[in-house]
C-alpha cells in the first residue's frame, strides 16, 4: 500500500491538482477552470468529485492528506481572503470546504510558502534548514524557512519580499504603493525594464508579443537592451536579497519561476550585485541557486509537500 | 535557596556585570574597564575573580548560568570575531575562557539578541512570540524573535537590520557601504540629520556638545530643526520597519536605547511613516512600543536572560 497526498494549486485562471507519492512522482495530474465557477462551493464540489474519480482509478493506496497552494492563503486559518486574482470575494475557508469531501487533514498556504515546502521535501533544500525561495512569476513571492520551519509570522502572511520597497517613489505597484521589488523582478517588471531600455537606446519596439522568453531569446542573439534588462533585474533583485540576508542570514536563496529560464543572464548579475550590496560579515555565506523542483510539476508538488 | 544568573555586558570601554534573579531584580552590579586589559585572558581572570568575590558575599543561592552580550557575539560558537570596538583581535572564545572559572553553562550572543531575550524574560514581550527589538544607540542593532525563538540564521549573525540599505548611495557607513539604516537612526545619524537641518535652515551650530539629549531638549523648546530631526529619523526608521514587517510579520516592534528618550518626538513619526510604507495586508497588525526592560539595568538583564 502506497502513501499518497493530493496537491492543489489554485490559480486565478486554472486550478491544477496532482496525486503525488513521497518521492515526488506525480501519479496523476489534471486541471479545471477556476474562473468558470462563480460560486466557490460549486468549484470545490466539482474539483473534489474529479479528485475522487481519479483516486478510484488508482491501485492500492492510502491518502495521507491534501495540501493547497492559493494566493493570499493563510496557513493558520486555512482561509483565503480577498485574493485579487480570484473571483470569490471575502474570506473563503477552503480547508473547511474540502473537509466536506475528504476526511484527511487539509492544509493551505500561499504559493510561495508551498514552493518553500516543496523545495524541502522534493527539491534542493532537503539538507538545508535556513533558506529563502523567491518565486519570480507574474508577481514576486517568497517563502522563508527558519531552522526547518516555514516562517508565517504573527499574521500568517510573512514572507512578502516582493512587496518590500526597494526604490522610494519608484514604479507604481498593484498593491497601491511605489517601488516594490515586484515591479522590477516580476515578468511584468522585466518587460517594463526592457521597454525602458529600448527607448533609452532609441530602438523601435518589436512588433511581437513581448514576454520574458522573447527578451531571453534576444539576449541570446546579443541584444544589448535584452542583456541589460536582465542585468538591471539582477541588480534590483540582488539589492533586495542582500537586505534580506542581513535580516535572516539564510544558507541558500533559491530562485524559482519562468524568468529563471534566462539562466546566467539573470543569475550572474543577481549574484554579483547581491555580493556587492552585502554586509561583509555575510560574504560567502549564501548560495544563490535555481530551484531543484522539476518545473513542470512544481506548483502541484509544492502544495503536495504541505500535506506530508 | 535562590536561583540566580550572571549577566555580563561587554562594551568597548567598560564591562558591566550583574547578578540577577528570575524576577529581574539585580542583586548586585559592578563594572570594570574593558579597555585596560590588552590580553583577553587577563581580562577574563580579573572579571571572574571579581564575580566570585561578589558571589561569596551573597546569602544562600544557586548559580544557574552565565549570559554574555558582546559586540559581534556568535551564539553558535560562543565566540567574538573581529569586533571593531574591542581591542582583542581575531576570534575570542569567551565561553571557553569563562568556563575555566565557572562550571555552569555560559551562553553568548550579540547585544541586540540579548536585548530581545531580556524583553521576553523581563520586559514587555513575555506573552509575545513574534517580535523585533531595535536598539538605537551608537549603532543600530536588532534582535528578531520568531515563534518564541531568537533568529540566529545560518551564520549566527542574523538580525542586522541596522545594516540594511535604505538609501542607495546614501550616507557612508562604518561598515564600508552606503545608506545603511544605522547612518540615519543611530545617535550619530540623528546628529548628522540635525546638523544638515541647521544648515538647511541657515542656523548657526550651537557652541555646545551636540548629542541626542541636547536635540531632544531643543525639540521640547519648539526648535523646528530639532523636531524635524526626529521626524526624519522616524521616517527612515519607519521605512525600514515596514520592509521588515513584510518579511517577518511581527506582532510588535520594540524600540530600545538612548534615543527613545525623545518619546513622542520619535515614536509618532516612526509609527506614522511605518504605517504609510506598510503593505495593506499588515495594516494594524503591528504595535510599535518602547522596551519594557528598565533602562538602568537593561544590558545586564538582557545578558542575564540569556542564561535562563
pLDDT mean across residues, chain B: 95
Q: State whether A247 and B164 contact (CB < 8 Å).
A: yes
B72: region left, alpha or beta (phi > 0 left; psi from -120 to 50 alpha): left
Q: Which of B72, B156, B243 sits opposite A164 (nearest CB)?
A: B243
Contact: B153, A246; criterion CB under 8 Å: no
Give residues with Cβ within 8 angstroms of A176, minimum separation 6.
Answer: B280
Alpha-carbon gap: B249 to the closest alpha carbon of chain A (Å)? 5
Residue B175 grid cell: 561598515
With an 8 Å Cβ cutoff, the interface of chain A facing chain B consists of 72, 129-130, 144, 146-147, 149, 151-161, 163-165, 167-168, 175-177, 239, 242-244, 246-251, 277, 279-282, 285-286
Q: Closest Cα to residue A44, out of A111, A110, A101, A109?
A: A101
What is the mean pLDDT of the segment spanning B194-208?
A: 94
Does residue B85 carry a pLDDT above 90?
Answer: no
Q: Encode pLDDT of B8-22 as tens digits.
A: 999 888 999 999 999
pLDDT at B84 over 90: no
Residues of chain B neighbouring A167 (CB-CB closer than 8 A): 168
- Residue A286 pLDDT > 90, yes or no? yes
pLDDT of B82 strictly over 90 = no
pLDDT at A299: 85
**Nearest-CA distance B246 → chain A (Å):** 5
Per-residue pLDDT band at B280 (split at 50, 70, 90): very high
pLDDT per position as a tens digit, A205-227: 999 999 999 999 999 999 999 99
Rounded percentage of chain A residues whose pLDDT exceeds 70: 100
Strand order in the sheet with B79-81: B73-74, B79-81, B91-93
pLDDT for residue B297 is more than 90 = no
> CA of A280 to nearest chain B CA: how many angstroms apart?
8
Counting one residue from chain A and one from chain B, the pairs whose CB atoms sit within 8 A come to: 118
Q: What is the pLDDT of residue A73?
A: 93
Instruction: Give the pLDDT confidence of A108-124 residue by residue, as tens digits.
Output: 999 899 999 999 999 99
pLDDT (0 to 100) of residue B270:
98
Which residue has 549573525 as its cell numbers? B157
CB contact under 8 A, A247 and B168: no
Residue B229 has pLDDT above 90, yes or no: yes
Mean pLDDT over B132-155 rounds to 96
* Whether the Cβ atoms of residue A16 and residue A75 lie closer than 8 Å to each other: no
**∠ CA B62-B8-B155, rounded to 5°:** 110
Under an 8 A CB cutoff, do A285 and B244 touch? Answer: no
Cell 495586508 sits at which residue? B281
A164 to B251: CB separation less than 8 angstroms, yes or no: no
Over residues B187-206, mean pLDDT: 96
Of A158, A177, A239, the CB nearest to B248: A158
Q: Is the pLDDT of residue A155 over 90?
A: yes
Q: Looking at beta carbons, which residues of chain B come within 8 Å of A250?
A: 153-154
**A230-276 pLDDT, tens digit each:** 999 999 999 999 999 999 999 999 999 989 999 999 999 999 999 99
Q: Which residues of A touch B130 (CB under 8 A)?
A: 153-154
Model confidence at B298, pLDDT cuts 50, 70, 90, reads: confident
For A161-193, write each residue's pLDDT tens digit.
999 999 999 999 999 999 999 999 999 999 999
pLDDT value, residue B295:
79
Residues 6+ positions from B295 with CB-CB distance below 8 Å: none
**For residue B51, pLDDT beyond 90:** yes
Question: Cα dist. B202→B196, B205, B209, B216, B217 in Å?
Answer: 10, 9, 19, 20, 20
Q: pLDDT grade, residue A85 (50/70/90)?
A: confident
Q: Determine which helix (DSSP H) or strand (DSSP E) holds A30, and give its type and residue range.
A: strand A26-33
Q: Is the pLDDT of residue A1 over 90?
A: no
Rounded distance, CA B139 to CA B161, Å? 11
With CB atoms and an 8 Å threshold, state whether B155 touches A280.
no
Cα pseudo-dihedral B296, B300, B303, B306, rounded to 10: -80
Taken as a whole, chain A contains a residue count of 308
CB B29 within 8 A of CB B298: no
Residue of B nearest to A165 (CA): B243
CA distance B255 to chain A (A): 17
Residue A228 has pLDDT above 90, yes or no: yes
Task: Specify whether the CB–CB gap between B86 and B10 falls below 8 A.
Answer: yes
How far apart (Å, rounded) are the C-alpha atoms in residues B187 and B135?
A: 11
Q: What's the confidence (pLDDT) of residue A304?
A: 95
- The verdict on a CB contact (< 8 Å) between A247 and B176 is no
pLDDT at A297 over 90: no
CB contact under 8 Å between B158 and A248, yes or no, is yes
Q: Is the pLDDT of residue B296 over 90?
A: no
pLDDT on residue B13: 87
pLDDT at residue A98 in the model: 97
Amino acid at each position: 500500500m502506497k502513501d499518497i497526498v493530493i496537491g492543489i494549486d489554485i490559480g486565478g485562471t486554472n486550478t491544477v491538482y496532482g496525486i503525488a507519492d513521497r518521492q515526488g512522482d506525480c501519479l496523476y495530474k489534471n486541471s479545471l477552470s477556476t474562473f468558470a465557477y462563480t460560486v466557490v462551493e460549486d468549484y470545490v464540489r466539482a474539483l473534489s468529485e474529479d479528485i475522487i474519480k481519479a483516486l478510484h482509478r488508482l491501485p492500492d493506496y492510502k491518502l495521507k492528506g491534501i495540501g493547497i497552494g492559493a494566493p493570499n492563503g493563510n496557513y493558520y486559518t486555512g482561509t483565503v481572503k480577498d485574493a485579487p486574482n480570484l473571483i470569490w470575494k471575502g474570506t473563503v475557508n477552503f480547508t473547511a470546504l474540502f473537509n466536506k469531501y475528504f476526511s484527511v487533514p487539509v492544509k493551505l498556504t500561499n504559493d510561495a510558502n508551498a514552493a518553500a515546502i516543496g523545495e524541502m521535501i522534493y527539491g534542493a533544500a532537503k539538507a538545508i534548514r535556513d533558506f529563502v525561495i523567491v518565486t519570480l512569476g507574474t508577481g514576486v513571492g517568497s517563502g522563508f524557512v527558519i531552522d526547518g520551519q516555514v516562517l508565517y509570522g504573527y499574521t500568517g502572511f510573512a514572507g512578502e519580499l516582493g512587496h518590500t520597497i526597494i526604490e522610494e517613489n519608484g514604479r507604481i505597484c498593484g498593491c497601491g504603493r511605489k517601488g516594490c521589488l515586484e515591479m522590477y523582478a516580476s515578468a511584468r517588471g522585466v518587460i517594463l525594464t526592457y521597454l525602458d531600455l529600448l527607448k533609452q537606446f532609441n530602438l523601435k519596439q518589436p512588433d511581437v508579443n513581448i514576454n520574458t522568453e522573447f527578451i531571453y531569446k534576444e539576449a541570446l542573439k546579443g541584444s544589448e537592451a535584452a542583456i541589460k534588462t536582465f542585468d538591471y533585474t539582477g541588480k534590483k533583485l540582488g539589492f533586495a536579497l542582500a537586505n534580506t540576508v542581513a535580516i535572516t542570514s539564510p544558507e541558500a536563496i533559491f530562485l524559482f519561476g519562468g524568468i529563471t529560464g534566462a539562466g546566467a543572464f539573470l543569475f550572474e548579475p543577481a549574484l554579483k550585485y547581491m555580493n556587492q550590496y552585502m554586509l561583509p560579515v555575510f560574504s560567502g555565506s549564501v548560495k544563490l541557486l535555481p530551484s531543484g523542483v522539476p518545473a513542470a510539476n512544481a506548483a502541484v508538488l509544492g502544495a503536495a509537500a504541505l500535506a506530508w
